[in-house]
Structure 1
């Protein structure tokens, strides 16, 4: 017999295996999202393509105005990164780490979404299942009580 001990600690949300997952329907986000603002110079093609991918991620439906502002600031960082890249400066390398961290916080990759506990699910899985109606004359299966099963097994 095990000795009684301290009660186990409550697992804080996000710190253990019992943390809840946020399930999001796997359809591109079509809601309101900001456009890239006008600049003196045009946006680099890579940044525009990145922005179009980010603004259509399914979990963008969870974002607030501050999250969109954070994403826009990341787009400005990408613009600066590509400017340094095309001008063949080497200072852009230290900006890469910050951009990667910000993209992880936004959940742009599957690994980042796993860390954020965001799971994309198919639309039919999210919809509540309707109980199936038995056809007329069709017999429904009955459930055997556990007491009767135990009685049969005990002899």
Structure 2
């Protein structure tokens, strides 16, 4: 359909990247648990307690479809994001902007996934609802019968 593409050597704009793309080998990483650690408070070390909301948030990310595509560096970045999430839920509302930016990188909302060109696969689910064989048009229509022509009245 349409004209043949122009010879690339005759194009006015080549839009080449100045740097060649680097291809990396993907290695899926398992999701780590939220770590335990100590923080200094009033000169003493106390064990950090993750807010329950952050623990739930972390479990949601671990079970998310996006997690299938996370490498070790993604989990490390998300772990740092968990600390920001904990700050937010502890009442530090200044962390909201950074938290929003960071979770957007992982496709947290429908809008984020659209921007990242992520889409949930629905073909398997749709195939499961499809009947084995679709009814033919004749079967959908049923039996058609011709009606007798109306009689003309002589009035």
**Structure 1 length as normaliser, TM-score?**
0.54
Mapped pair 1:95 → 2:102? no
Query: 1:78-131: CA deviations, max 9, x gaps?
Result: 112222x1xxxxxx2321000000010111111111111111113627x9xxxx
Instruction: Please give the secondary structure, in 2, of the residue aligned with 1:106.
Output: coil
The answer for the alignment partner of 2:32 in structure 1 is: 34
Q: Name the CA distance, whole Å, in 1 between partners of 2:66 and 2:16.
A: 25
Structure 2 CA distance for partners of 1:11 and 1:110, relative to 1, 3 Å? farther
The answer for the alignment partner of 2:83 in structure 1 is: 76
Pick the aligned partner of 2:54 from 22, 47, 53.
47
RMSD, aligned CA? 2.8
> CA offset at residue 11 of structure 1?
10
Larger radius of gyration: 2
Instruction: Please give the secondary structure, in 2, of the residue aligned with 1:37.
Output: coil
The answer for the alignment partner of 2:66 in structure 1 is: 59
- Contact 2:88 2:94 (C-alpha < 8 Å) held by counterparts: no
> CA offset at residue 8 of structure 1?
7.0
Q: Name the CA distance, whole Å, in 1 between partners of 2:111 and 2:101.
A: 12
Structure 2 CA distance for partners of 1:123 and 1:35, relative to 1, 3 Å? farther
Q: Name the CA distance, whole Å, in 2 between partners of 1:63 and 1:47.
A: 19
Structure 2 CA distance for partners of 1:78 and 1:122, relative to 1, 3 Å? same
Structure 1 gap segments, 5+ residues each: 1-5, 13-30, 86-91, 128-155
Structure 2 CA distance for partners of 1:11 and 1:59, relative to 1, 3 Å? farther
Q: Name the CA distance, whole Å, in 2 between partners of 1:42 and 1:118.
A: 34
Structure 2 gap segments, 5+ residues each: 1-10, 18-28, 38-46, 128-155
Superposition pairs of residues 129-144 of structure 1, within 5 angstroms: none
